[in-house]
Structure 1
Amino acid sequence: MTLPVMEPDVTPELLRDWAERIDAGPFASLCFGERVVFDNPDVLTLLGAVAAWTSRVRIGATVVVPQLHEPVLLAKALATADRLCAGRLSVGLGVGGREEDYAAVGADWSTRTMGEMARRAATLREVWAGGEVGPRPHRPGGPELLVGTLGERTLRHAARWADGLAGMTLDAGVEETARLFAVARDAWAERGRPAPRLTTSFWFALAETAPDPRAQVHAHLRHYMSWLPADLVDALAVTAGFAGTLDELGALLDRFAAIGADEVQLIPTDGDPRQVDLVADLLDRRLSRGA
């Protein structure tokens, strides 16, 4: 379950409520990602807070853009977070797609390449292994590093350094995700590496909490994708993510399980914490049946 960090006017109290509910439920991970020119919390600061608010669940920084950070300081911040949460940290690295984010922090847009991301991933691991810049991560070698991408070319390149995929599907598409997973398995096998960890994510809205779940997804995307032309966002919103009932969501999760997803991360389109409890109940019922 992803925290509602991209919702407008999100409060610390709401984030803590969500984090504690997620930690208490059957969820595998609590997730959130990075943007700079937006009104969301800073990803590295929030890692410390979530580490203190939880004790069980994996903490997934699903997208961190290393080119937006000084690499040694980023390594130190992530190692600190890994220690604070006793090794529960997972980090997705992506090049990002917002030129304004690069400009805001004075980063060079020309560094938005797969090669540069690989070099920065190597720097993270070198710092974590070296011991000169502390603290050491909780786990030897540091937290897992996943590649955040929707593209096959990027995924094949990342097989050199990543531990797996932090994926996303814009329309909750099982078939397209299955194709991307197959590319990952092949790319990792070609390099003689262990099988990759395969995750994906999508936006969701529930009929049980939203009078019109499709309209909720639409409103969320209008806010989150405010840098895009409104007519483009409106066209995307017709099929983006999942909008339906809990039972329909359960059936969709079954389909992702069938293609070998190690984890599906749900991205809320509203801050109502009842969504956490409803999905937790859904998962509890399925687990009790051995689903």
Structure 2
Amino acid sequence: MPVMEPDLDRGTLKAWAQLIDGGAFSSLCWGERIAFDNPESLTLLGALAAWTDRVRLVTTVVVPQLHDPVLLAKQLATGDLLCGGRLTVGIGVGGRHEDYHAVGADPATQTMRQMAERVAVMKRVWAGENVTGATLPVGPPPVQAGGPQLVVGTIGPKTVRSAAAWAEGLAGITLDLDLDKESALFDVARQAWQEADKPAPHLATSFWFALGDGDEPRAQVHRHLRRYMNWIPAEVVDAMAPTTGWAGTDDELRTVLGRFAEIGADEVHLIPTSSDIDQVRRVAAIAEEF
């Protein structure tokens, strides 16, 4: 979903959701920020549950430290109910202190340990345990037994290993599309999940993309990064922009996706750098081949 693009409205968001749901895509994803003008993530979850029927809905990512864990568990269980058990919750620590400050959260909690502690509370809520001491436990129960599927949003081997205790897979990101690095991270995950005596992890990664000819796709990515990475000095973003994300033609994207398939990626989440729905139509035609 193009949630980090400017000037969004209901019609644009609904059109994107329905086109994705009706295409060859396996999931529909969107991210969370607080100190930004994007739609609020969990409110949007309710709308996406109503606008779609088939694809999995994937938060990439929700930051538990920005929420009360009991209320977040209730919100996500409600989302799972509304979408009929199609919810996958991508969870990460976030990369912006300003989001923590915006909701009065302590940036010192921006750690994998603090995140795992909140995940443990949510899992207890989803299991029906009365964690509040109230007359009744917090509900509703999620459609998926034990709660929505959980995947970790991370790019580091250490954090991948620590997430094996509670996650069912990865929802990472690659800035420079280094396939050797991604393949090595996938191997770390496979080994960590095996050592935790768990089924093989779901392996997903993501990258910013722009489709087109000539120099415009790269310029589109650059404009998006300038807007999205507004907490980073502009000159740093400008230095990153030529090699961050992916820009090119339909055939070139087809080739790139094939390479990710070769290293064992179960999914690639394409992060839009424009709200132009024609980008979705073009990717949909490519997705049909995988």
Fold similarity call, TM over 0.5: yes
RMSD: 1.1
The reply on whether 1:184 has 2:182 as its aligned counterpart is no
The Cα shift of 1:116 comes to 1.1
Match for residue 251 of structure 1? Answer: 255
> Equivalences for 1:210-221 in 2 at 5 Å?
212-221=216-225
The reply on whether 1:136 has 2:141 as its aligned counterpart is yes
Q: Give the Cα separation in 2 of the matches to 1:15 and 1:171.
A: 28
Match for residue 266 of structure 1? Answer: 270
Unmatched segments (≥5 aa) in structure 2: 130-136
Deviations, residues 7-55 of structure 1 (Å, cap 9, x unaligned): 0111121011100100010000000011100010100000000000000
Unmatched segments (≥5 aa) in structure 1: none
Instruction: Please point out which of 118, 124, 128 is paired with 1:126.
Output: 124
Match for residue 76 of structure 2? Answer: 78
> Equivalences for 1:7-26 in 2 at 5 Å?
7-26=5-24
Secondary structure of the structure 2 residue equivalent to 1:141: coil
Match for residue 234 of structure 1? Answer: 238
Partner AA of 2:174 in structure 1: T
Match for residue 206 of structure 2? Answer: 201
Say if 2:77 and 2:126, in contact at 8 Å, map to a contact too: yes
Partner AA of 1:173 in structure 2: D
Q: Give the Cα separation in 2 of the matches to 1:168 and 1:124.
A: 25
Which aligned runs of 4 or more in structure 1 are off by greater than 3 angstroms?
A: none
Partner AA of 2:89 in structure 1: V
Partner AA of 2:200 in structure 1: A
Say if 2:92 and 2:152, in contact at 8 Å, map to a contact too: yes
Match for residue 153 of structure 2? Answer: 148
TM-score (norm 1): 0.95
Deviations, residues 235-259 of structure 1 (Å, cap 9, x unaligned): 1110111100011000000000011
Q: Give the Cα separation in 2 of the matches to 1:23 and 1:97.
A: 29
> Equivalences for 1:271-286 in 2 at 5 Å?
271-284=275-288, 286=289
Secondary structure of the structure 2 residue equivalent to 1:9: coil
Say if 1:92 and 1:147, in contact at 8 Å, map to a contact too: yes
Instruction: Please point out which of 199, 207, 228 is paired with 1:224.
Output: 228
Q: Give the Cα separation in 1 of the matches to 2:169 and 2:34.
A: 25
Q: Give the Cα separation in 1 of the matches to 2:15 and 2:176.
A: 28
Secondary structure of the structure 1 residue equivalent to 2:167: coil
Instruction: Please point out which of 58, 73, 90 is paired with 1:60.
Output: 58
Instruction: Please point out which of 30, 33, 36 is paired with 2:34.
Output: 36
Say if 1:62 and 1:90, in contact at 8 Å, map to a contact too: no
Partner AA of 1:47 in structure 2: L
The Cα shift of 1:283 comes to 2.1
Partner AA of 1:230 in structure 2: A
The Cα shift of 1:173 comes to 2.2
Partner AA of 1:256 in structure 2: F
Q: Give the Cα separation in 2 of the matches to 1:274 and 1:217.
A: 16
Q: Give the Cα separation in 2 of the matches to 1:245 and 1:103.
A: 40
Secondary structure of the structure 2 residue equivalent to 1:256: helix
Match for residue 171 of structure 2? Answer: 166
Match for residue 98 of structure 2? Answer: 100
The reply on whether 1:112 has 2:110 as its aligned counterpart is yes
Partner AA of 1:33 in structure 2: G
Say if 2:74 and 2:139, in contact at 8 Å, map to a contact too: yes
Q: Give the Cα separation in 2 of the matches to 1:86 and 1:28.
A: 16
TM-score (norm 2): 0.95
Q: Give the Cα separation in 2 of the matches to 1:193 and 1:120.
A: 21
| Identity level (%) | 61
How many residue pairs get aligned? The number is 283
